[in-house]
Structure 1
């Protein structure tokens, strides 16, 4: 029976409660000779170890034009204040207190690569948790706007690596030594971004000369579906519409208007893409290069169409150079088709019709009409544009997707 009573007594935890007098007495004792202006080390020659962790809540914005990263989260800073220690049993087992951040010493940690503001973390309403052994924990929450150099060569299949750097601005590494974060980047009620996927995180301690800083790295991959549907596919389709100008007959009278319309569409897409990209970027996006190539194709198509119209409306009695005759002959061979000559062809006189009828297509003396020359130009231009456009499209977007 005595053994049972002893076991019950040992198993019952002592219930304690701190009163207002206990807390006031503790505050008066530990802050009687305390100053938040003095680094909390008994030996001021020793560095103060500072543990920094980053808890990410969301990625609010990745602005490629301004090269800015906006994130929401908080830092977890832990250090030991050797001047804030007490024995819990002397104050009714009080082992933890909360102190306003401005009443105790705290490290002057700031965002080094901030975008537009440079100020201390936290605020007057923040409290720090202080343990009886001097361990202090601080969790300043903020919206961090940091600079991030963007490489948009593979846009919209690009991957960006952005750094968030924190540094002790006034203290050297001999005074405050930032240690490798115990937990690195963690997540606190993280909300996924609609445009970017967070694929990797890391943390690193950097000590440059006498400075100590911690760098948190976020690796982001863009979700390309929106841009593929709204930009890339329309651009590719317009590129192939540009080739159809060589399918339209010269007599239709729509060659020039069709080609100009497609050219202006490319100009509009180039304007849209330029608003999405950094204006001072050293790297030209592959898609922008592709658009410029398509604009060049459009200009060439306009020139060829204008030249065709000029040839088509030439005087039918004007002699056709041998070069164009050979072009027509090659075109007929490639099409495996022998052109039938109609005596009623308005572009040929009776003598030319008779000469064509009596002459083999392989002969260099074959005479043809200017309409045949225009048709041959359409044939060679169509296949040249189609083959080169397919090669360029497959090559450029394959390279862009492999980022």
Structure 2
């Protein structure tokens, strides 16, 4: 055992950093060397300082479709070389890295260019910056980012949105600081907090160079989860529309028909006041689903008006002549082909047999299939067009 201890003491070295080593290093860097965080950390001030940025997403906090705002939570990982913060580890007990508050060293004045609030310094005073012995600095400011995002709700609730987070060195031009992406896209945290309404589809990161500045743009593509909207809003609207159409299956001479029609229409109107709070409230684009709802509401209103007129016509006495168009429709429903020339010859007896009740019944059959066809076509078109954006 003594032999091994002797050999290790001769041929090996051990490092044990003490608080004295850390204190001596801090004194050397910030006092003896007179480190100044106002000076760009390059021994050659004519050389551009390269700064690399990556973004890790922790969660989507919310989306405001009226204000066109995306709120996300995450942190940036920013790397650069500080030529003024280097040391020899063997001189300080093998100390390889150091942590200091972010306000004690030079940092690029990176800010969110398309932010929703005033310009503020990234991070907080208590956040520590990691410094390696070779001068490599890593800064991880955690923040809630509120960014402007142009939201297009045309395909609601199957819409997909693309939003950008653009970071720029606000005061320093591209000859002083050059910003570049550190990763190909947005890094997703392993502890990502899922959002009840939106899910992340893809992301990307790009460098952009303009005349006086450089910027890094992180793009995130999100898609709405349509299940809640379909189950709680779309499906009830479809069922109410069907109830409205089946009004024509109720005999017009039954007094409850008009009450049924008005009740369904009022239910539709009350439900729409609830649905309107969940629809995207923006005048920039009109959701296809809003157009679909308007079509169903207009059709429901026409059904109420037609039912009201029919209720008045069916109470007319037998002496009142049935309108010619209703007579022709009724005879066609009987399976007889009627033309103007034939009508003037031999069908006078058949026309006299047409009553108001039979005429209204024939009209109801025709209107039922017309409204049902409009309902099926509008529903299919709305879902096909909106669903094209959903994958």
Could you tell me the TM-score, scaled by structure 2's length? 0.89
The Cα of 1:273 is off from its aligned counterpart by 3.5
Inter-partner Cα distance in structure 2 for 1:204 and 1:268: 48
Residues 9/17 of structure 1: CA separation in 2 closer, same or farther (3 Å cut): closer
1:282-317 CA distance string (max 9 Å, x none): 221111111000011012112211221121122321
Aligned match of 2:113? 112
Would the aligned equivalents of 2:57 and 2:186 in 1 still touch at CA under 8 Å? yes
Aligned match of 1:27? 26
Matches within 5 A, 1:1-400: 14-32=13-31, 33-182=34-183, 184-188=185-189, 189-333=191-335, 365-400=351-386
Aligned match of 1:347? none
Q: Mark the runs of 5 or more structure 1 residues left unpaired by the alignment.
A: 337-358
SS at structure 1 position matched to 2:244? helix
Q: Mark the runs of 5 or more structure 2 residues left unpaired by the alignment.
A: 338-344
Would the aligned equivalents of 1:161 and 1:217 in 2 still touch at CA under 8 Å? yes
The answer to which of 111-120 and 12-21 deviates more is 12-21
SS at structure 2 position matched to 1:174? coil
Inter-partner Cα distance in structure 2 for 1:232 and 1:362: 50
Inter-partner Cα distance in structure 2 for 1:262 and 1:223: 29
Inter-partner Cα distance in structure 1 for 2:139 and 2:12: 30
1:44-93 CA distance string (max 9 Å, x none): 22221011011111222233343322222111000011111222222222
The Cα of 1:152 is off from its aligned counterpart by 1.2
Residues 273/66 of structure 1: CA separation in 2 closer, same or farther (3 Å cut): farther
Aligned residue pair count? 376
SS at structure 2 position matched to 1:31? helix
Inter-partner Cα distance in structure 1 for 2:106 and 2:334: 90
Inter-partner Cα distance in structure 1 for 2:362 and 2:16: 99
Would the aligned equivalents of 1:75 and 1:139 in 2 still touch at CA under 8 Å? yes
Would the aligned equivalents of 2:237 and 2:268 in 1 still touch at CA under 8 Å? yes
Inter-partner Cα distance in structure 1 for 2:150 and 2:285: 11
The answer to which of 57-66 and 362-371 deviates more is 362-371
The Cα of 1:361 is off from its aligned counterpart by 6.4
Could you tell me the TM-score, scaled by structure 1's length? 0.86
SS at structure 1 position matched to 2:304? helix
The Cα of 1:323 is off from its aligned counterpart by 2.5
Inter-partner Cα distance in structure 2 for 1:372 and 1:236: 30
